[in-house]
Amino acid sequence: MTVTADTPFVPEDDTYHAASSDDPLWVETAWWCWNVPDRRIGGWLHAYYHGNRNEATWRVFAWDPSGADPGRMAYYKLMKDVPMPAAPDLRDLSFPEGGFSVKMLKPLMDYHVAYQDPERRFGVEFEHRAVHPPQRFTPGEPPAMHNPHLDQLGHMTGEMVLRGERIPIDCYSIRDRTWGPRSNHFDFEGGPRQAKPDRGHRVLHPGGTRWREIERERGRARVQYIFGHTGAEMGFLGFVRPQDGDAKGWSPMNVGWLLKDGVFVRLDKTKSRMRNYRDPATGWSAHMEVELVDVTGRKMEAEGTAESHMCENAAGSNALMRWEYEGQVGWGEDQDGWKLDHFQRMLDALRDSGTAAC
């Protein structure tokens, strides 16, 4: 069967798929994120399932302005290569060795997710009630390329416990799933995979501020994923392609959506773009301008500010983003993935420039 962007997912996609090859890097993911805007808290529950080894790597974390690295985050727990039960079913599963649990409530739509760490006085439990059916990335488009991938906006309600304090969760945020080989993907389990030989740091459109030019180097596996939503009626999601950006700092966006008046429409990747302004002290995203156009011609302009960061692998960050658009405020994330050596060169140039606003 030929799979297109309009091919629907099926209920069986809620659980794990048989590996399509014996590739040791074949992996399947499950991810939920939540936020608590008035506390500037962002949070993740994420698991890689290594189907050919029947092992999982899971992690749970929450961050706020008090600290960004794993040792200083509000909470961080990572367990690598945990043996899984035979034939694990993600529709009703607790990851071994204290991992989070997932229970499907309505196929492809609704889920109960929970995690407890009594020793650290931390926990999170919520229901994800989907706003729409899962959206498929366009096959053959970066960054998923030929691996099936879905994104889904949901209303998440529940509670987190942080150092014993009970904090309500009531937000609109994202879950995603993908499965297939990860040979050419950034590895969030332990930093970037082995870099390919240097081929000259190609830049599609040379010129402009030096740090932006370094950011646009091709063949560097740069990924930047941004989203923000205000309830079930308004928001956006998309991948940014810095490698295809211009000398003025505008980078095109693809494989995403524009949500207006409760209607989801795919982005027009020829007209949607983002310009980022980085903090010269950290190199992390500080401020963004986003121009969105969907394939029917609807438009939206969004401006985002990073409110807190987490940095798991010493380079880019995941930022909790506050967005303004259409007279409304929305919340979401900037997931800014880098290879360490590339990030270091960019940051050196950014610090030399003396300003993030060039």
Q: Is residue 189 part of a domain?
A: no
Q: How far is CA 138 from CA 149, 175, 220, 226, 232, in A?
A: 9, 17, 22, 17, 23
Q: Is residue 3 part of a domain?
A: no
Q: What is the mean pLDDT of the chain?
A: 92
Could you tell me where the beta strands, DSSP code E, fall in 118-215?
122-130, 135-136, 149-162, 165-181
The residue among 284, 279, 350, 356 whose CA lies nearest residue 69 is 284
CATH number for the domain spanning 288: value is 2.40.370
* Alpha helix positions (H), the chain: 210-215, 340-353
**Predicted pLDDT of residue 191:** 40
Q: Are residues 153 and 224 in the same domain?
A: no
Q: Are residues 176 and 216 in the same domain?
A: no
Give the pLDDT band of residue 184 (cuts 50, 70, 90): very low
Burial letters for 121-145: b for 16+ Cβ neighbours within 10 Å, e otherwise? ebbbbbbbbbbbebbbbbbebbbbe
Q: Are residues 265 and 348 in the same domain?
A: yes
Q: Does 150 have pLDDT greater than 50?
A: yes
Q: Which amino acid is at 119?
A: E
Going by the DSSP 8-state scheme, the letter that residue 64 receives in this structure is B
Q: Is residue 277 part of a domain?
A: yes
Q: Are residues 215 and 275 in the same domain?
A: yes
Q: Are residues 101 and 46 in the same domain?
A: yes
CATH number for the domain spanning 165: value is 2.40.370.10
**Predicted pLDDT of residue 213:** 96
pTM for this one?
0.92
How many structural domains comprise the chain? Answer: 2
Q: Are residues 153 and 231 in the same domain?
A: no
Q: Which domain holds residue 277?
A: 210-353
Q: Is residue 194 part of a domain?
A: no
Q: Are residues 218 and 160 in the same domain?
A: no
Q: Is residue 196 part of a domain?
A: no
Q: Are residues 28 and 165 in the same domain?
A: yes
Residue range 65-122, pLDDT digits in tens: 999 999 999 999 999 999 999 999 999 999 999 999 999 999 999 999 999 999 999 9
Q: Is residue 156 part of a domain?
A: yes
Residue range 336-355, pLDDT digits in tens: 999 999 999 999 999 996 55
Q: Are residues 215 and 176 in the same domain?
A: no
Q: Is residue 198 part of a domain?
A: no
Q: Are residues 20 and 163 in the same domain?
A: yes
- Of 160, 181, 202, the residue at which a domain comes to its end is 181
Q: How far is CA 116 from CA 46, 98, 125, 291, in A?
A: 14, 8, 8, 40
Q: Is residue 348 part of a domain?
A: yes
Q: Are residues 20 and 91 in the same domain?
A: yes
Q: Which amino acid is at 170?
A: D
The position carrying tokens 């799979």 is: 3
Q: Are residues 22 and 118 in the same domain?
A: yes
